[in-house]
A = this chain, B = another copy of it.
Amino acid sequence: MFELDPAFALTSEALPGLALCEARLQLDARFPWIVLIPRIDRAFELEDLSVEERAMLMAEIVVAGEALRAVGAALGRPVEKLNVGQLGNITRQLHVHIVGRRQDDLCWPGPVWGQGTAEAYASETLQMALSAAANVLEA
């Protein structure tokens, strides 16, 4: 039975779920950032998914990218590049990061993982980001 690793609740806020994945907005105002977690028990690597589940995950990664473009536009910081990462070195449950990047962001052109400290969203900005993302994910 699938249970979300409790680590995700500490760093992210739930978004509307997709067919395969839980979707969560990373609570880091530095970057629009979504984490997708396939609802598959004991999946740690992409190879642990079936071919059908992998295709669904790929489709949901692309949708998450669209959602991040909507978040960036809503916050007046359009996304210039998408970054996708599946690491899992710390939190082992299979999850995929999709991050909206800009040339003026704090980590450009390096990756965001393990860099610096998350910045809290102002509560109004967080609501705008959640709403913009949800509109795309629910479509």
Contact = CB atoms under 8 A, between A and B. Distances in A.
Interface of A: 44-47, 51, 54-55, 57-59, 61-62, 65-66, 81-90, 101, 108-111, 113-114
Tallying the copies of this chain within the complex gives: 2
Residue with the highest number of chain B CB atoms closer than 10 Å, among A45, A54, A89, A110: A89
A114 to B, nearest CB: 4
Nearest to A96: B84
B83 A58 contact: no
B90 A111 contact: no
A59 B54 contact: yes
Contact of A51 (B59, B82, B111): B59
Nearest to A82: B45
A65 B120 CA distance: 35
Contact of A58 (B46, B87, B108): B46
Contact of A90 (B45, B87, B109, B113): B109
